[in-house]
Amino acid sequence: MAGLTRTAGAFAVTPHKISVCVLLQIYAPSAQMSLPFPFSSVSQHNRLGLYLLSLTKACDDMYEMKLEELINQLRELGDDVDAWLTENLTNQFSSLSSPDDLLNFFTDMRGILGSLDSGAVQDDRIVLDHNSNLGMFVRRCILAFNLLSFEMDMEIYVMDKATKEMELHRNASGSVSFHLHTPEALFKVTEGIPYYSPIYAQEEFLRISGLLVSRKEKSSTSKFAEATSVASASSSKVEDTRVDESLFLRTNLQIQGFLMEKADAIEAHGNSFFSSSIESFLEQLQNLAPELHRVHFLRYLNKLHSDDYFAALDNLLRYFDYSAGTEGFDLVPPSTGCSMHGRYEIGLLCLGMMHFRFGHPNLALEVLTEAVRVSQQLSNDTCLAYTLAAMSNLLSEMGIASTTSVLGASYSPVTSTASSLSVQQRVYILLKESLRRADTLKLKRLVASNHLAMAKFELMHVQRPLLSFGPKASMRHKTCPISVCKEIRLSAHLISDFSSESSKMTIDGSLSSVWLKDLQKPWSQPVYSRESSSRNNSTFFKFCDHLVSIPGSVSQIIGASYLIRATSWELYGSAPMARMNTLVYATLFGDSSSSSDAELAYLKLIQHLALYKGYKDAFAALKIAEEKFLTVSKSKILLLKLQLLHEHALHRGNLKLAQRICNELGGLASTTMGVDMELKVEASLREARTLLAAKQYSQAANTAHSLFCTCHKFNLQIEKASVLLLLAEIHKMAGNAVMGLPYALASISFCQSFNLDLLKASATLTLAELWRGLGSNHSKRALDLLHGAFPMILGHGGLELRARAYIFEANCYLSDPSFSVSTDSDTVLDSLRQASDELQALEYHELTAEALYLMAMVYDKLGRPEEREEAAALFKKHITALEIPQDVEPNMA
Amino acid sequence: MVSKESCRNEIRTAIGQLSERCLHSAAKWAGEQLVGIEQDPSNSTPSNTRFQRGSSSIRRRFSTNESITTPQPSVGFSQAATPLPEEDEVIDGDLYHLAKSYFNCREYRRASHVLRDQMSKKSVFLRCYSLYLAGEKRKEEEMIELEGSLGKSDAINRELVSLERELSALKRTGEIDSFGLYLYGVVLKEKGNETLARASLVESVNSYPWNWNAWSELQSLCTSIEILNSLNLSNHWMKEFFLASAYQELRMHTESLAKYEYLQGIFSFSNYIQAQTAKAQYSLREFDQVEIMFEDLLRNDPYRVEDMDLYSNVLYAKEACAALSYLAHKVFLTDKYRPESCCIIGNYYSLKGQHEKAVMYFRRALKLNKKYLSAWTLMGHEYVEMKNTPAAIDAYRRAVDINPCDYRAWYGLGQAYEMMGMPFYALHYFRKSIFFLPNDSRLWIAMAKCYQTEQIYMLEEAIKCYKRAVSCTDTEGIALNQLAKLHQKLGRDEEAAVYFEKDVERMDSEGLEGPNMLEALVFLATHFKTHKKFEEAEVYCTRILDYSGPEKEKAKSLLRGIRMEKTGFPSMDMEHFPL
């Protein structure tokens, strides 16, 4: 008996279902002629049929439509029948005046089903086939009703009453919200899911307003998503658990799907406002269903995203204590012995990733090592694959100073084999291991995100044979853009897996709610317009179309691949490609991504604006982004703002401000060794540049030197290249060209081995400037160098770089004795005009003044006094602006 | 000091008033305290004295306690004698009697219906109270009817809303008596409004202190010492009972014991006080004393089931199988469907090694009372014995979620995870348990062992933990031995020697022998010899000679070496110059 009632819980009679039944009765009244009363045409009748079909399909969703909504949708169905339908529906409801009527109603429902034995259906009667969708629905309803106990019968009746009263009330009180009038108990009942609706609405709102997950988080969070989604699919088949929420019964499938959606939402909107609202909702859910342990996991996720360490830890441990990692994490059918031991290794994995996120890399490493060991002991290969991926992610993200004693202390077969290798090599090995396992286990999402990690690795690290000895060992010291591209492409294969296997992959509960959302979309506009009956068909297929929906975690990974593309193009030096990929990301994956990824995309676009369009546009864009992301935890917007302000201050010559911002920037970084390395490097790089601008050469050189040492210690190769360039720059400005040359050359060779084309072009420019600094007899060589780099600089360089190149070119020509201004003035003037325009956008007073000065000189030589005066006036303006830095910072506020 | 006579009179009146209002458990409690007061020899009937006879045995055995019991300078007792409220209402007598009998037959709705138009405070209280109980009854039924597999349904007492409305209206107009305030507090607590509930209960106990129900509701709302201290309670001897019980809940056992000792001056024969004292002593791990107290208690009150689970725990810890069996059979005959009885039987089976059966009985106990903390923990222990770690973890976690201060369950969680080879994960739980009980050497030792595992191998941390264990007076002497060994392993012979010496000292004082002793002696002998402290070395060598085995031979050779060195001929040289 117990088993029987349990299975009944999978489909419960609710007021909404009763109203669908009423409509079905209207659609197919028993013993009626071909076209029942209110309908004037067959197509009209069919339209109701299609609508009912979609309603029955959506009824496995978490949310149930309210009567009000149903009536609204009926209204949108158009036609003259809607009034009649609505009235009939409400009448039917009012006629259900006692539980007994309900019993009679369901007895009548039997009548609209065709008899089982009659094989051929008579043409002129509308009879629901037993095995049709609608017929099945009616049968399920009848069965569910028959299984109800006496008490539940009462409850349904009460709910019915409530629904009806609500409706009446609404009619009576007009615009006044009925919530105020109905007692709380009724309110709870009438709302499909009492507590969700406000959150739901809000979620929708945020979905529209928000975009995206941090690069750092990327791989780990997508793993979560993978773990959770696949899990619920398999667990829901076995379990027939149900949860009571305000007396409605929901299937496990619905609940799991719903919770997954919530998990996605948490990731997508990591701000504190959202977090507190979802927290209160989760608390309520937990009160209602204390045995639904997934709620603890969601609370953990929520706390994780709102940076509450203790609460996150507490909830994580609680979840694994209760569920032994088996609820919602069944990635693979439990192999022998697993059930006995639980899946606590997944707990370790999650704990490790949590420590990582909270900036405890060493703790994280210890925990992950334990995870590796336990998964090996319990031969949980899936978890092992994930753990290795998480480990490699951790190792590559955190700066580890010494290569020894990180993994050496802990015992672990996989990791200890690599104890003699450098961190980079270990990351590589871990990734390879993880990829191999994921491949054999067919963990598609993990494979994809591993490919992405691999792409990142290839991007940042010089390919070097792991063990190089003997004369035949290849000595290629270069990164390989092709392999980066290959990896990114491999990761994008994921989406094709999903579009082809959709039928198999999407058994998770979230799909049934997709149905409802899709229902809402077409219904919001009058789809079933009267004139075209052919369009009905197309909308119907639109419904079916959504069966092939791509899970959110998949589109997240695909989205991340675009972000990585953008990053790699940034590094390789193609601004348009970087911008394009970021835009693709923001437009296509914006709504399915986590907030930190979205933020990253915004960041990239704003940086692009600052470099190529000047500060005005960048600050305007920043303002928009600020509104969107400042509430997000660990927001990088502040960082970006400081960066922009610093650049701006440097260009305008406001060095005090620049210094202050520099200090603020340094203050953002964590004090722990090896954490926030990017930020720390950035801060001291900017400090050196500020010092350079203040003409304190030896101090600037000292800072740059120690920065270089740090970069070397933490293996930050790309940063090394730019630090070397800065050193060359410092020596150039100090007038010590000979000292600068080796730095410039070293920087160029670094750029070459990492394929950093744009940086290389800018290093070449510096090199050229250094040559010229050695004396005007080197002008020719300098000019040649510059012209070699010109295509790259003009094609992809930012405003500043281009202007510098133009001015330098003009300088070279002007100092060349063989160059005659009078005959070839346009060559010089064009460059200078271009340079001064671009620099004015940047408000780079010093360089603008230089360009204008040169222009004035040229005009003077050419004997064009008017233009000369104009240039001179502008020159004066910029010089005064430089000398008296205005502290008016409209954008600082 | 309050006079016994006044106490007696107060309680007598109170019992009448409480049972008149059908507050049966409060009346029961008051009754117990009433007979707990030493009887006047003048008007004591023989039955009275018989009832109290055996009770003094404990005082005889622990005669030291007597000296402390004598007047305490405690709490400046300006006993603001609360006047007993006059029983005013005889008017609605008939209907009230009918309602009361309905109530006693558990027909609550009928009872409240009878009193529907009665306006006296007493009638209003009984009407509201029976309505509340009717709601509770329905709630419990619903909980079973609607229970899904995901745990509790959201069954609520449907009367709460209307009750709150009515009682708050009454309170506003001032037409509420202290019993009404008590009920109002209970309703507020159920609705989750703890602050208001506390205020209402405080008001209730200040105006009528003899209602123990109100005190215990109040106590359940005092989850921290800050809250407890912030309560504005007027002085009354009932407050002492309350404080004693509250201190106990807040794990301030010595304070609680002091209060109980004071109260025992008046209520010398109160079983309640005796049981509570035993509880506090149990928390202080004075098992022998607790056992005697419980024996005594059972002799006076042989059909008592309350608190007996604690007694069974003591018997279990002392492995007193016969006594536990006797207790189990006795409570089984008294009332086998009490959670305490089930727990006792579970303990009995566990001691007998029948863990499946033990689990069954703990389950039954939990079915009867879902929030039965110790049953969850004990069930966890059983599952650990049965090697079903996930189930054990689940059980422990439930205990912890009911009361996050339950250090036993935290410890159990740690152990379970350690068993599964996840020592790093386990550390968190050990830390938690130590946080709640920092003075227990066993917890420190468990944590140290965790650090010592080959997977983590953080020996420095392990040493720190063992040091803490030593400072908490480690009775089993594991810590000293381990400290010595760890230092030895790390090559710090000086420290190792210090700890070995301390260990030897400890073993000597406890008269222990064994491999640990031998090992320590051998180490010390060699250590002192290499550091040329020959006297000490010789002492240890001669002690080793008492043992047999290869160590004896080693000791002999050491002695020989020492003698050689003492005589000035370094042993090394001797070999080079054959005589």
Q: In angstroms, what CA-CA distances link A816 with A131, A781, A812, A813?
A: 92, 12, 6, 5
Which of A630, A657, A677 is the last residue in one of the domains? A630
| A4's tokens | 């029987």
- Domain assignment present for residue A455? The answer is yes
The average pLDDT across A277-293 equals: 77
Stronger pLDDT, A793 or A115, i.e. the higher one: A793
- The residue count of chain B comes to 579
Statement: residue A272 has pLDDT above 70: no
How far apart (Å, rounded) are the C-alpha atoms in residues A651 and A662? 14
**A172 is a domain residue:** no
Q: Domains in chain A: how many in total?
A: 4
φ, ψ at B174 (rounded to 5°)? 75, 15
CA A831 to chain centre: 42
Q: Rounded to an integer, what distance in angstroms lies between the CA atom of residue B529 and that of residue B538? A: 8
Enumerate the residues of chain B whose CB falls inside 8 A of the CB of residue A347: 425
Alpha-carbon span A174 to A154, nearest angstrom: 30
SS3 (DSSP) at A584: helix
Count of A–B CB contacts within 8 Å?
94
CA nearest neighbour of A615 among A573, A657, A660, A646 = A646
| Residues 456-475 (B) with a CB less than 8 A from some CB of A | 456-457
Q: How many CB atoms lie within 10 A of CB A314?
A: 18
Both tokens assigned to B174: 């001032």
CA atoms within 13 A on the CB side of B490: 18
Q: In the prediction, which pLDDT does A5 show? A: 31
Q: Are A244 and A289 in contact (CB under 8 A)?
A: yes
Question: B452 with B462: CB under 8 angstroms?
Answer: yes
Direct distance between the N- and C-terminal alpha carbons of chain B, in angstroms, rounded to an integer: 91
Q: Distance (Å, rounded) from C-alpha B428 to C-alpha B434?
A: 10
pLDDT band at A110 (very low <50, low <70, confident <90, very high): confident
Instruction: Give CA separation, B153 vs A239, A240, B110, B135, B365, in Å.
Output: 19, 17, 27, 16, 21
Any B CB within 8 A of A296 CB: no
Calpha distance B470→B444 (Å, rounded): 9
Look at B393 and A242 and tell me if their CB atoms are within 8 Å: no
Contacts of A291 in chain B (CB under 8 A): 149-151
Domain spans of chain B? 1-35+90-142+158-222, 513-569
The answer to whether residues B219 and B245 touch, using CB atoms and an 8 Å cutoff, is yes
In this prediction, residues A131-156 reach a mean pLDDT of 72
Q: What is the pLDDT confidence band of residue A35, given thresholds at 50, 70 and 90?
A: low
Of A294, A264, A260, A300, nearest to A279 by C-alpha is A300
Interface of B with A in 341-400 (CB under 8 A): 388-390, 393-394, 396-397
Interchain CB distance below 8 Å, A341 and B393 = no
In a domain, residue A735? The reply is: no
Buried b (16+ CB within 10 A) or exposed e, B528-567: bbeeeebebbbebbebbeebeeebeeebeebbebbeebee
- End residue of a domain, out of A101, A135, A167: A167
Report whether pLDDT(A704) > 90. Answer: yes
Contact B145 A151 (CB under 8 A): yes
How would residue A600 be classed by pLDDT, with cut points 50, 70 and 90? confident
The pair phi, psi for residue A251, each rounded to 5°, is: -80, 160
Dihedral, CA of residue B425, residue B430, residue B433 and residue B439, to nearest 10: -160
Give a three-class secondary structure readout of A318-382. Answer: HHHHHHCCCCCCCCCCCCCCHHHHCCHHHHHHHHHHHHHHCCCHHHHHHHHHHHHHHHHHCCCHH
The Cα A800–Cα A850 span in angstroms is 13
Q: A333 with A234: CB under 8 angstroms?
A: yes
Is-contact A730 A692, C-beta < 8 A?
Answer: yes
* Pair of tokens at residue A46: 């069919």
Would an 8 Å CB–CB cutoff place B432 in contact with chain A?
no
Q: In the predicted model, is pLDDT for residue A185 greater than 60?
A: no
Query: For residue A688, what are its two tokens?
Result: 């050196």
Burial per residue of B153-181, b for 16 or more beta-carbon CB atoms within 10 angstroms, e otherwise: bbbbbebbbebbebbbebeeeeebbbbbb
Whether residue A143 lies inside any domain: the answer is: yes
Q: Is B80 on the interface with A (CB under 8 A)?
A: no
* B425·A287 Cβ contact <8 A: no
**pLDDT score, position A638:** 85
Per mean pLDDT, which of A202-206, A649-653, B323-327 is the most reliable?
A: B323-327
Residues of chain B with confidence (pLDDT) below 70: 1, 39-92, 146-154, 568-579
pLDDT, residue A539, reads 38
**Which of A269 and A336 is assigned the larger pLDDT?**
A269
Asked whether residue A60 is assigned to any structural domain, the reply reads: yes
CATH number listed for the domain at residues B1-35+90-142+158-222: 1.25.40.10
* Short-list B376, B386, B374, CA closest to B350: B386
Q: Which of A605, A630, A655 finishes a domain?
A: A630
Q: Check residues A775 and A77 and name the one with the higher pLDDT.
A: A775
Position A654 in a domain: no
Nearest to A361 by CA among A306, A398, A312, A404: A398
CB-based contact (8 Å) between A32 and chain B? no
| pLDDT at residue number A37 | 67
CB contact under 8 A, A342 and B389: yes
pLDDT of the residue at A126:
63
In this complex, do B422 and A289 lie within 8 Å of one another by their Cβ atoms?
no
Q: How far is CA A507 from the centre of its chain?
A: 23
The neighbouring-strand residues paired with B151 are B148
Domain that holds residue A884: 798-892
ipTM: 0.73
Q: Label residues A418-440 b or e (16+ Cβ within 10 Å = b).
A: beebebbbbbbbbbebbbebbee
Q: pLDDT for B83-93, tens place per residue? A: 555 555 555 67
CB contact (8 A) between residue A370 and residue B401 = no
What pLDDT shows up at residue A449?
A: 82
Q: To the nearest 10°, the Cα dihedral for B346, B347, B350, B355?
A: 20
CB contact B149 to A (< 8 Å): yes
User: How many angstroms separate the CA atoms of A299 and A297, rounded?
Assistant: 5
Please judge whether A370 and B422 are an interchain contact, meaning their C-beta atoms are less than 8 angstroms apart: yes
Cβ separation of A374 and B422 shorter than 8 Å?
Answer: yes
Please report the DSSP string for B400-463 in residue order.
HHH-TT-HHHHHHHHHHHHHTT-HHHHHHHHHHHHHH-TT-HHHHHHHHHHHHSTTT--HHHHH
Q: B410 — contact with chain A (CB < 8 Å)?
A: no
- What b/e sequence results for B302-328 when a residue is b if at least 16 CB atoms lie within 10 Å of its CB, and e otherwise? eebbebbbbbbbbbbeeebeebbeebb
